[in-house]
Each structure stands twice: as structure tokens, then as C-alpha cells.
Amino acid sequence: MAQEITVAHAERLSRLHAERRPLVLPTVWDVWSARVAVEAGFEALTIGSHPLADARGASDHEGQSFAEVLEAVRPIIAAVDVPVSVDLEAGYGQEPRELVAGLLDAGGVGLNLEDTVHSEGGRVRSTSEHVEYIAGLRAAADDAGVKVWINGRTDLFLHADDAAGVLDEAIERLQALVAAGADSVYPVRIQDADDLIRAVVDAVPAPVNCTAHPVEHNLERFQRLGVGRITFGPLLQAALTDATRSMLTAWR
């Protein structure tokens, strides 16, 4: 039964990406935030590594082990009857098959995979390395019989002093990730640059994921720019932190 539910959720997540442009996946970090998002009407969620780490008193950038992450996400996924994707950073030193097996065992049906290798001093994988890892994830998911949604992330813009200067390299990398089996791509840190978003959207034959701030950004702009998928990264939790601090301050 668990396998049937996982397969159904994976198929549902794939359909939602086709039906919603963009598909908004609220980024959650615990059972409470996941249930709130579903009660608000969202049909799929993503668990973010940064807010998950903050909620558990750990550090982002693989400050938790893969086993600890699976232990943390399992009750979140079990608490809601919608597809859930999980940010798995750079893979926690796991081989692709181990990563997919752990994700599926926890009930997840989608994942982010980035190219900053935190366990190796924060180096950035080469395009060929990242492509090989993404291809391994695709093969492992296919062998498991589950259409895991793979969101191939690049941090080239994040690390660049001049984002425009790495645009061609980033596009080439994102195109290669799609060819290797990524279902969508996630060029981090371009959400405030309309020209970069348009350039990536026009060049990549897959939904482009942008990070959004739930208050400072708006859905219409991302729709107009052709963005295919929106997540909040740590920004939803950060906005709630600001609001909570403001409310509590009045009671000091």
C-alpha cells in the first residue's frame, strides 16, 4: 500500500507541474507548517533544507546527516496527504541510488539536488559531475518504478560576483541537467532579476524554479516571466520570524 501511495503521489506531482504554471510549492519544515499549507489549499509541498535545519537547531549546508534528515522529514510527509518534495542539498555524500532509496522509504516523491558540495569545502561540481549525479538519480528512480520529480539546482549565480557573467555557463549546465533527466531546473539567486529569469526560461526546455518571498514578491510577475515553479526556500520561515518577532515585541 505504501508503494502504491508513493507512486500515485509521484504521478500527481508530475501532473501538477503540467497543469499549474507556475506550480507554487510552499516550503515547509515541520508537521505544523505542512498542515497549514495544505489547509490553505496547496496540493503539493517541498521541505527546505535551510528551514528544516533551523527548526531542528542544526546548520544548513549538510549540517545534518542523511539519516537525520530522513528521520526529520518522515513525520512531515506522513502528516499530509499530498505529494512532498525534499531538498537533499548536494546528496550528503550518498550515491544516487542510496539517495533515491532513502527518499522513497520516507515517502518523498521529489527532490532538489544542488551542485555546491558542502562536505568538500563548498566546491561547485563541474557540469559533467552534476550531470552524472542527476543521471544516476533518474536511473535509480526509474529502476524503483517511481517517477521521482528531480529539480536540478545550480548555484553558479549564487557564487558569482557578476551574475550576468555566468549566464551562458549556467544555461549550458541547466540544459545538460534536463538532458540527463532533470524534470525542472533551479538557478538559485535570480529571483529579483527579470532579465536573467527571461534568459533562462527562454533557453531551458523544462520548468524553471524561482525562489520567492511570500510578501515582497507576487505571483503575477513570475507568471508573466514564464516561471514554471515557485518555492520559498528559507524566505517563508524568515517572513514568519519577522511577523512573530513584531507581535511578541508588543508584549515585552
Which pTM value belongs to this model?
Answer: 0.97
Domain ranges of the chain: 2-249
- 209 pLDDT more than 90: yes
Please report the pLDDT score of residue 1 as a whole number.
62
45-72 per-position pLDDT tens digit: 999 999 999 999 999 999 999 999 999 9
Q: Helix, strand, coil proportions of the chain in percent (round to 5)?
A: 50, 15, 35
The three cell numbers locating residue 59: 546548520
Q: Are the C-beta atoms of 86 and 108 separated by less than 8 Å?
A: yes
11-50 per-position pLDDT tens digit: 999 999 999 999 999 999 999 999 999 999 999 999 999 9
**Pick among 3.40.50.11540, 3.40.50.720, 3.40.50.1100, 3.20.20.60: CATH of 2-249:** 3.20.20.60
Q: What is the mean pLDDT of the chain?
A: 98
Overall average pLDDT of the 170-181 stretch? 98
Please report the pLDDT score of residue 2 as a whole number.
84
Overall average pLDDT of the 76-96 stretch? 98
Q: How confident is the model at residue 104 (pLDDT cuts 50, 70, 90)?
A: very high
- 10 pLDDT more than 90: yes
